[in-house]
Amino acid sequence: MAKKVVASLQTGKTKNFVKCVKMVKSEESDSFAFDEQMVNVEHVKDFFAN
């Protein structure tokens, strides 16, 4: 069943999305956190530029 679900997720418009993970430093505690988002392939550079 899982194989069928995974195969159906890769059809259509879902191929245009990737998961981006960016490390962000907190100004208050000087620790790092991870910002994870599903981003359209065309907007990956914009995600990492901000």
Percentage, residues of the chain above pLDDT 70: 72
The tokens for 7 are: 């195969």
Q: Give the Cα separation of 20 and 42 in Å (integer).
A: 12
pLDDT for res 12:
63
- Judged against a pLDDT cut of 80, whether residue 16 lies above it is answered with yes
For residues 9-13, average pLDDT: 59
Q: What single-letter amino acid sits at 3?
A: K
Euclidean distance between CA atoms 31 and 40, whole angstroms:
28
Q: Which two tokens stand for residue 13?
A: 């418009």
Question: What's the predicted TM-score (pTM) here?
Answer: 0.58
